[in-house]
Structure 1
Amino acid sequence: MIDVKRIHAILRAHSLTPTSIGRLVHLSHSKMSKVMTGEQTLPSAAVGIIIRELGIDPNWLFGYEGDPEVVRYMKDLVHKNEVEKLEAKIRELKDELGDVYKQLAEERRVK
């Protein structure tokens, strides 16, 4: 189930009204009103439209990640390959730093 706070956050972020998002996801005014009060849930087709049309991160929308007040978008996510490249660079820098510390320790011993 999608938390109503997240739907409200989407409305604020996109300057939408419940009626306008209802039109986007093909829901009647009364159905959308019930969704906004938490009386009913969004149908899966409507959720799919929100994710696709507005570019919303599904993990955020379903409440698995992120602040419910701050919409998270798919375009803002970092691809796994990029994360792996950055992690490799971090490991490389840690190794270099370790070598520098060893060198400093050796110089201190020699003094």
Structure 2
Amino acid sequence: MIEVARIAALMKAHHLNTSELAEIVHLSPSKISKVLSGDQKFTSDALGILIKELGIHPNWLFGHEGDPQTVLYMKDLVHKSEVEKLETRIRELKDELGEVYKQLAEERRVK
């Protein structure tokens, strides 16, 4: 179930009123009002439109991630290839650091 606070935050972030949101998701303004009051739920089509058209992260929308008051967008995510590059660089740096420690240990042993 979608929290009303998340829909309200989304509307605030995009400066949308009930009619404008209704137009985006192809529902009536009265349906949106009922969703905001907690009396009804969004249709799956309307949720898909929100996710696609506004770039909303589905996990945020469904309450699995993030603060309800701060909209999380798909663009905020880091692409998997970027994460892999960073992880590779971290491994390289750890290896370099290990070599430096070995050199220091060898120098101390020689002294």
Q: TM-score, normalised by structure 2?
A: 0.92
Whole-Å separation in 2 of the counterparts to 1:29 and 1:46: 13
Aligned length: 111
Corresponding residue of 1:8 = 8
Whole-Å separation in 1 of the counterparts to 2:63 and 2:106: 52
Whole-Å separation in 2 of the counterparts to 1:37 and 1:93: 53
Aligned identity (percent) is: 68
Corresponding residue of 2:82 = 82
Preserved CA contact (<8 Å) 1:18 1:36: no
Corresponding residue of 2:55 = 55
CA RMSD of aligned residues (A): 1.2
Cα distance, 1:25 vs. partner? 0.8
Q: TM-score, normalised by structure 1?
A: 0.92
Matches within 5 A, 1:12-91: 12-91=12-91
Unaligned runs of 5+ in 2: none
Cα distance, 1:41 vs. partner? 1.0
Displaced runs of 4+ in structure 1, greater than 3 A?
none
Whole-Å separation in 2 of the counterparts to 1:7 and 1:98: 50
Report Cα offsets for 1:27-65 as digits up to 9, x if no partner. 212211110012211100100111111111112111122
Corresponding residue of 1:109 = 109
Unaligned runs of 5+ in 1: none
Alignment-mate amino acid for residue 105 of structure 1? A
